[in-house]
Amino acid sequence: MNQGPSPDARVDLHVHTTCSDGAYTPAQVVELARRAGLPALAITDHDTFAGLEEARAAAADRVELVAGVEITCEWHDREFHLLAYFFRPGDDDLRAALERVRRRRVERFHEMIGQLRQHGVHLEDGAVARALLGGVIGRRQLAELLLEGGQVSTYRQAFTRYLGGDGIAIPSVSLPVAEAIALVRGAGGVAAMAHPAYDCTQEGLAQLKCHGLAAVEVDYPGFRPGRVRRLREWAAALGLAVTGGSDCHGPGDHLREVGARGITWSELQKLRQLTCI
C-alpha cells in the first residue's frame, strides 16, 4: 500500500518560470522537480499564475503542483513580496488586481527605457519588442537587454550601474500589502511573507499577522542557519506556518536549483490546513 511521501521529504515552494522572469518553462520546472525527487512544487511567478495550467498538465500525478504566485506589494514605503498558495485561480478579484499590476509593469518598463535614453543608453527597438512578448516584464529583462546590447559587460553591472538603488528612479509596481493579503484570502488562499529582509523583526511579523498573514518564508538561498532558526522561532511564537524554496530563476546557480531549498512535506500539510475555504 502506498504510504505517500515521507514527512521529511523536501518540497520547493518558490520557483519562477518563463511566464515571469525565469529561464525554464513551467513543464521544464516540473521535470526538474521530478528528477530531484520532490513530492510537491509551487511555481510562484511574479504577479501571474499563467504557467499553472501547463505545469499541472506536466505534473499529472507525479508531482503535486500547488497553486502559487509572488505578488509585488508595498509596506511601510518599501517593496514587499508576498507569496500566495492554494488560492482559486479563477477568482475574479485576484485576477483583476494582478492584471493591473502587470499593466503598470509594462508602463514602468517603457519609463525606465526613457530614463536610460536620458543617460545616453539606447536599446534596439526590435529587442525591446521581443522582450515585451515574453512573460511578466521587469528589471531582470531590462538587464538582459543591456547585456545583449553591449551596454554592460555583466548582468550584475546592469544593476550596479543603472538598475539598482542609485540608478534610474522609477517607483516600483505594487499593491498595498493589506489589500494583497485580503485578495489572497478572498480567493481561499494562504498569504506568506517572501524572503524576509535582515531588518525584519518579530514585531513586524506580528503587525502583518494582524492583516491576515499566515506564514513566513524561513528557508531561502543565502539564509544562514542562525537566520533560519530565528525565523522559525518567530513563526512558532506567533502561530505562523512556514514556507521555503529555491527561488530558482534558471540554470547557473547550484544554490538556487529546483529543490535546493524548501520545507518538509509535513510542513506543507500545515500550510494547506490554513486555506480560507
C-beta of residue 69 within 8 angstroms of C-beta of residue 89: no
Sheet holding 10-15, edge to edge: 64-66, 40-43, 10-15, 263-264
Any domain includes 1: no
Residue-level pLDDT at 100: 93
Number of domains in the chain: 2
Residue-level pLDDT at 41: 98
Domain boundary among 136, 163, 190: 163
What CATH number has the domain bearing residue 259?
A: 3.20.20.140
The pLDDT-based confidence of 167 (bands split at 50, 70, 90) is low
Any domain includes 3: no
Same domain (yes/no): 50, 71: yes
The pLDDT-based confidence of 244 (bands split at 50, 70, 90) is very high
Any domain includes 277: no
| Distance separating alpha carbons of residues 160 and 26, to the nearest angstrom | 30
Q: In whole numbers, what is the pLDDT of the chain averaged over residues? A: 92
Q: What is the pTM of this model?
A: 0.90
Any domain includes 168: no
Same domain (yes/no): 177, 249: yes
Same domain (yes/no): 252, 190: yes
Q: What percent of the chain has pLDDT over 90?
A: 69
Same domain (yes/no): 37, 108: no
Of 39-53, 104-118, 213-227, minimum mean pLDDT range:
104-118
Domain that holds residue 223: 10-96+173-272
Same domain (yes/no): 217, 259: yes
Q: Residues 100-146: pLDDT tens digits? A: 999 888 888 888 888 888 888 888 888 888 888 777 777 888 888 89
Residue-level pLDDT at 132: 82
Any domain includes 118: yes
Burial class (CB in 10 A: 0-12, 13-18, 19+), 166: exposed
Same domain (yes/no): 148, 260: no
Same domain (yes/no): 144, 203: no
